[in-house]
Amino acid sequence: MAIKTVGVLGCGLMGAGVAQVSAAAGFRTIVLEVNEDVLKKGLGRIEKFLTDGVAKGKVTEEVKATTLGNLSGTTTYADLKDCDLVIEAIVENVDVKKQAYAQVESVVGPACLIASNTSSLCVTELAASTKRPDKFGGLHFFNPVPLMKLVEVIKALSTSQETFDALFGFAQAIGKEPITAPDRGGFIVNRLLVPYLLDAIRCLEEGLGTVEDIDKGMKLGCGYPMGPFTLLDFVGLDTTYFIANILFDEFRETRFAPPPLLKRMVLAGYLGKKSGRGFYKY
Ligand code: CAA
Ligand code: NAD
């Protein structure tokens, strides 16, 4: 089936990026948020990224205009009624996601595909909560979406081959490099990345080094673009905490268990870059 109109649920860190790359690739894109304030903030971040891109000579004025021209925001599910694909990028909580799919299904047509950008939840469970488990799959993007080339495409037990192919094709159409990932907690990348990030927090708790020295060590010693604490702040400590709990629940292995410090930072509202404070202050 031809995808022309794309809905994106959530205009946070990930939803804004997904909406931007979809609109930039020529898809009419409608991004939905919980209220006008959050929506305005999210759309503002997209505009800023494009404006910065123009200033850096990485984005042309034409691409900026096309992207913004293809993009609109809403707080009303009814505006998603013509979508051929809805990509969900809201909070990493299974019940909130299921409620959102029910709202989507109350307005879209029977052929509309739904994909989740979940980092760690069971895609088969999410699919089974809808009336179209065969038209549901995972499209896992990476942060920052406009710069990271990878998308993991996840086939739930119920996902039809036609849906999987359409999602894979969509990832290619927006200029990404898709890989096939299994419906197992964390898929491929987070299965490896999340224990590393959690271990960095455990090292800090044990007094192995300072935040700055551990970051510097991994950056300069291993050539990683960001040290683990910069990356944790970038991903969001709340999101990392949700992911860790979900992976621990799936595998019951201590390497996935959220360290006590992570839990306390989230409870204190230190969510990383997005809240102005995490392991660093912004
Ligand atoms: N518009 C267009 N291009 C832009 C841009 C903009 N607004 N801003 C930056 N760029 C371009 C730059 O021009 C540069 O391009 P070249 O390499 O061609 O010169 C490139 O993007 C990198 O930008 P910068 O040099 O400004 O920044 P950087 O070198 O510090 O890199 C980064 C930034 C790409 C984010 C890098 O630090 C990085 O890769 N960090 C790791 C990110 C990561 O690991 N993400 C995954 C998180 S986990 C996840 O997402 C999964 C999950 O479920 C939690
Ligand atoms: P975020 O907190 O930055 O944004 C989530 C947004 O969803 C918020 O703006 C919130 O207002 C909105 N929202 C919440 N409930 C909603 C609803 N019912 N309808 C519409 N909007 C709603 O979170 P994020 O980092 O963008 O994460 C979103 C999803 O993407 C999660 O499933 C996360 O696991 C996944 N993910 C995150 C990253 C990352 O690096 N942060 C990377 C890949 C995947």
Report the alpha-carbon distance of residue 42 to residue 29 in Å, rounded: 14
* Cα 15 to ligand 1 centroid, rounded to whole Å: 17
Provide the percentage of residues in the chain whose pLDDT is more than 70: 100
Joined together, the tokens standing for residue 190 give 């987070």
Counting every residue written for the chain, the total comes to: 282
* Cα 143 to ligand 1 centroid, rounded to whole Å: 8
Q: Which ligand is nearest to the CA of 97?
A: 2
Q: Tens of pLDDT along 144-184?
A: 999 999 999 999 999 999 999 999 999 999 999 999 999 99
- Per-residue pLDDT, averaged over 119-123, amounts to 97
Residue 1: pLDDT over 70: no
Q: Tens of pLDDT along 35-67?
A: 999 999 999 999 999 999 999 999 999 999 999
- Per-residue pLDDT, averaged over 195-218, amounts to 98
How far apart, in Å, do the first and last CA atoms of the chain sit?
45
Q: Give the pLDDT band (50/70/90) at residue 137.
A: very high
Domain ranges of the chain: 5-181, 190-275
User: Are the C-beta atoms of residues 108 and 33 closer than 8 Å to each other?
Assistant: no
pTM beyond 0.85: the answer is yes
Residue 239: pLDDT over 90: yes
> Is the CATH number of domain 5-181 3.40.50.720?
yes
Closest ligand 2 atom to residue 274 Cα is 3
* Cα 110 to ligand 2 centroid, rounded to whole Å: 25
* Cα 11 to ligand 2 centroid, rounded to whole Å: 7
Report the alpha-carbon distance of residue 108 to residue 5 in Å, rounded: 11
Closest ligand 2 atom to residue 243 Cα is 34
Q: Tens of pLDDT along 259-277?
A: 999 999 999 999 999 999 9
pLDDT confidence of residue 94: 98
* Domain at 190-275, CATH homologous superfamily: N-(1-d-carboxylethyl)-l-norvaline Dehydrogenase; domain 2 (1.10.1040.10)
pLDDT confidence of residue 221: 98
Amino acid occupying residue 282: Y
Residues with CB under 6 A from ligand 2: 9-15, 32-34, 38, 89-92, 96, 100, 117-119, 141, 143, 235-236, 239, 274
Q: Tens of pLDDT along 86-102?
A: 999 999 999 999 999 99
- Per-residue pLDDT, averaged over 18-31, amounts to 98
Q: Which ligand is nearest to the CA of 139?
A: 2
Residue nearest ligand 1's atom 5 by CA: 53
φ, ψ for residue 207 (rounded to 5)?
80, 25
pLDDT confidence of residue 280: 98
Report the alpha-carbon distance of residue 235 to residue 144 in Å, rounded: 9
